[in-house]
Amino acid sequence: MRNIQKAVLLGGLVGLLAGCSVEGGDSTASREHVIVNGQPACDPALEAVGAVVFRFAEYDIEEFYCTATLIGPKVALTARHCVTGESGWHYDEYPGFENYVVFGKTYDAPKQEARIAGFLAAPAGPGGLLNDGGRDMAVLYLEDSPKKIKPVKLGLFQESMLGKQFRIAGFGRREDDTVGAKYEGKATARALSGEWYPLLFDNDYAAFDAWYWTDARLAEPSADEEAAWWAPGTYTLEAGYELLAGGLPNEAVSCYGDSGGPLLLGKEAKKMTTYGVSFAGEATYSTVCGLGGGYAVLNEEMLAWVQAAVLAAP
C-alpha cells in the first residue's frame, strides 16, 4: 500500500479559522513546526493563492478541493491530479458540476471568485514518486480575471537552490485537523533526486524502522512492506522534476488540500515568484504530514510548458 499521499479532496470539513493571529497550541508538533503547523496567511503578497472548490447546485453541495495560484490574468497553476483521474472532475458526467478558484482567507467566505472554464494538464513522465512522473502540474483557465490581485511570476528552479528556504501556502489540513483556511509557512528545499524514505530519515534506517512500526499512518505493518518502502526504486524522486521540501525543525509541511499550492520566493506581490507546486505529503500519526512534502518544480522543461499553456489561454 503506497504511503505517499496526494493532497486531494477532504470530506467533512471542520473548524475553519478565519483570523490572522498565530494559533497557539499545546502539542509538541505545534511547537516544533511552524500549512501543517503554519500560520494564517494574511500577507497581501499572498493574495494570488486561492482555493479550488466545486459546486453542485442541484444538491446544494460546495466542497474545498485543492490550492491554486494565479499566474496570469485568467490563468492559475495547480497540480495535475487535482483535475484528472479519480480525484479530478468530469464535466460530461455531471452537467451541473462547476468549479471555481476562490480568493480570500477561507474557501467558504471568499473576497472574490472566478469560475474555471477549462484546464490543460501536463503530460506524464517516465516515472517518479507518483509513478507517472514528476510532472504533476496543470493550468486552470478562468472565465473572469480576479480584480486587484497581481499574478505571481514563474521562476526557473535550479539545483543551486537546494538548501534555500521557500514560502509555501495552501488551504489544506493542519495538525489540528482544520482545513479550508489559507495558511503559510517556510520550507527548505532538501533534495531534487534520491530515494524518498532514506532522504526523509537521513539514511538512518533505525529511525525509519521505529517510525514505520509506531507512527507510519498508512502502513500495513509487515517486514516485506517495510523493506519495499526503503528499497531503491519503490519511492524515488524523479531527478530534476520532483523536490523534497519542508519538514525540518521549525518548518512547515504541505498536507491534504495543499496540492497545487506554490513554492514561493518574494516579500512583495510584484516580486512574488513560484518555482513549483505541492503534490504529496508524508502522513504520520503524530504530526499528520510532518516529515516532508513533495513538489513538482519548474525546471526548464516544465517552465516552458507552463509558459506555453499560459499563452494558449482562451
Residue with the larger pLDDT of the pair 185 and 3? 185
List pLDDT tens digits, range 195-210. Answer: 999 999 999 999 999 9
Predicted confidence at residue 85, as pLDDT, reads: 56
Question: Helix (H, G, I), strand (E, B), or coil: what is residue 309?
Answer: helix
Q: How would you classify the pairing of strands 39-40 and 75-78?
A: unpaired
List pLDDT tens digits, range 132-155. Answer: 778 999 999 999 999 999 999 999
Mean pLDDT throughout 40-48?
A: 92
Amino acid letter at 110?
A: P
From residue 236, give the alpha-carbon distance in Å to each of 208, 222, 243: 16, 21, 10
Per-residue pLDDT band at 276 (split at 50, 70, 90) = very high
**pTM of this prediction exceeds 0.85:** yes
Does residue 7 surpass a pLDDT of 70? Answer: no
Per-residue pLDDT band at 26 (split at 50, 70, 90) = very low
Per-residue pLDDT band at 213 (split at 50, 70, 90) = very high
Does residue 1 surpass a pLDDT of 50? Answer: no
- Please give the domain boundaries of the chain with CATH numbers for all domains: 29-193+238-311 (2.40.10.10)
Helices (H), the chain: 28-32, 196-200, 205-214, 223-230, 300-311
List pLDDT tens digits, range 151-198. Answer: 999 999 999 999 999 999 999 887 777 788 999 999 999 999 999 999
Predicted confidence at residue 4, as pLDDT, reads: 53
Mean pLDDT throughout 249-271?
A: 93
Per-residue pLDDT band at 37 (split at 50, 70, 90) = low
Does residue 257 surpass a pLDDT of 80? Answer: yes
Per-residue pLDDT band at 3 (split at 50, 70, 90) = very low
Amino acid letter at 169?
A: A
Q: Residue 141 in contact with residue 123, Cβ under 8 Å?
A: no
Distance of CA 50 to the CA centre of its chain: 12
Residue with the larger pLDDT of the pair 98 and 287? 98
Q: Residue 152 in contact with residue 277, Cβ under 8 Å?
A: no
Q: Which of 15-29, 168-182, 184-198, 284-298 has the lowest mean pLDDT?
A: 15-29
Does residue 311 surpass a pLDDT of 60? Answer: yes
% of the chain surpassing 90 pLDDT: 59
- DSSP for 20-41, written as a single string: -SPPP--SHHHHH---BT-EE-
Mean pLDDT throughout 256-278?
A: 95
User: Mean pLDDT in the chain?
Assistant: 84
Mean pLDDT throughout 116-141?
A: 88
Predicted confidence at residue 94, as pLDDT, reads: 61
Residue with the larger pLDDT of the pair 42 and 262? 262
225's enclosing H/E stretch is helix 223-230
Predicted confidence at residue 97, as pLDDT, reads: 76
Does residue 11 surpass a pLDDT of 50? Answer: no
Does residue 235 surpass a pLDDT of 50? Answer: yes
